[in-house]
Amino acid sequence: MSNDSSLKEVATDRGFRIGATLNAQSLRNDPSYWKTVRNEFNAITPENALKMGPLRPARNTYDFTDADAIVDFGRANDMYVRGHTLVWHNQLPNWFQAWEYTDEQLETFLRDHIHTVAGRYRATVDAWDVVNEAVADDGTLRETVWADAMGEKYLDRAFRWASEVTDATLYYNDYGADAVNEKSDSIYTLLSNLLERDVPIDGIGLQCHFLGDRPAPESIAENIRRFQELGLDVQITEMDVAFTAGDAPDDRCQEQAAYYRAIAEACLETGCDTLVQWGVNDANSWLRQFKDFPERYTDDPLLFDDNCDPKPAYHALTDTLIDG
């Protein structure tokens, strides 16, 4: 295969999924964004549109406009669609805080939410992040509205409810657990326990937001392997590579490329067949959204620059998928 092939072509050719996270507004309004996604990726994840806040304007209503637009775009282009996410503690609807629910009401609400959302996309979403970020940074179960009402069993229930309405593969997804470390140890125990209780979980998503921190690729490979040995599929679900502001190397694009290459190599070596970057091009990276982020991190973490031109990291990934 020649080097003129797109990332999507070289990935597809070797059975690899290379993904990007999408927002509906850019898809509608920005032709170069839309073309980049269509030509360069064979997998997508809606960045926000499938989260509970955006989907639930009021307690008994849904707004699927943006979610449908993104999922339809993925299907129309033969892409693998990751659904993100059914249960999370962030981006809850605004009305949620004022709601004085009982534990039972909350449980019923979550069940209905999962049944409705995962059910609606049963034929169109291939994989779901059923539960996102349930483990706190110290490795304990994160205190959330869900844990508060149901304890650890909220995970069991969420996966079971999802499996009742869809055949999509079902993932647990988290950050800071990409390499072997205390947090991934805790998640390993949590997921082992779910499997022991026969909870229908198929895999784990390693977010891989590398913000200032680039764990040894060998440790990431080792981490991937141990989850695979549990019988779980492992995917890289939200990758980006940024440097601590003020501490970025002069050749940061090259260093970023080298790290993307190392992670792609770890994927090929372990048989992890899905790598999704969190955004399409630098201009719409989530790192640009928050006031404090540009002070903390460099804000060009993706494969395409502000103009949707491919960066060294893009070529590093393409070469790795051709040669690796």
Q: Which is nearer to ligand XIL, 174 or 316 (CB)?
A: 174
Closest separation in Å from C-beta 60 to ligand XIL: 25
Whole-angstrom distance, CA of residue 66 vs CA of residue 270: 35
Considering the rule CB under 6 A, would residue 80 count as an interface residue with ligand XIL? no
Q: Give the x/- contact pattern for ligand XIL in 224-253, rule: CB under 6 A.
A: --------------x---------------
Backbone angles phi, psi at 30, to 5 degrees: -120, 100
Residue 132 near ligand XIL by CB under 6 A: yes
Using rule CB under 6 A, residue 94 touches ligand XIL: no
Amino acid identity, residue 109? F
Nearer Cβ to ligand XIL (47/233): 47
Q: Tokens standing for 321?
A: 């998928």
Three-state DSSP class for residue 16: coil
238 catalytically annotated: yes
User: Is 222 labeled as catalytic in the residue annotation?
Assistant: no
Catalytic residue among 9, 104, 133, 269: 133
Site for ligand XIL in 270-309 (CB under 6 A): 286, 289
E strand or H helix at 241: strand 233-242
320 scored as a contact of ligand XIL (CB under 6 A)? no
Contact 318, 3 (CB under 8 A): yes
Q: How far apart (Å, rounded) are the C-alpha atoms in residues 136 and 37? A: 33
- Closest chain position to ligand XIL (CB): 286
Beta carbon of residue 48, minimum distance to ligand XIL (angstroms, whole number): 5
Strand, helix or coil for residue 19: strand
Asked if 177 contacts 184 with a C-beta cutoff of 8 angstroms, the reply is yes
Options 238, 255, 269, 295, the catalytic residue:
238
| Phi/psi at 244 (5° precision) | -65, 130
**Nearer to ligand XIL by C-beta: 146 or 286?**
286
Q: Does 48 bind ligand XIL (CB under 6 A)?
A: yes
- Residue 95 φ then ψ, to 5°: -70, -15
Please count the CA atoms within 13 angstroms of the CA of 41 that sit on its side-chain side: 32
- Least distance to ligand XIL from the beta carbon of 289, Å? 6
> Which residues does the annotation mark as catalytic?
133, 238
Which residue ranges make up the site for ligand XIL (CB under 6 A)? 47-48, 132, 175, 207, 238, 286, 289
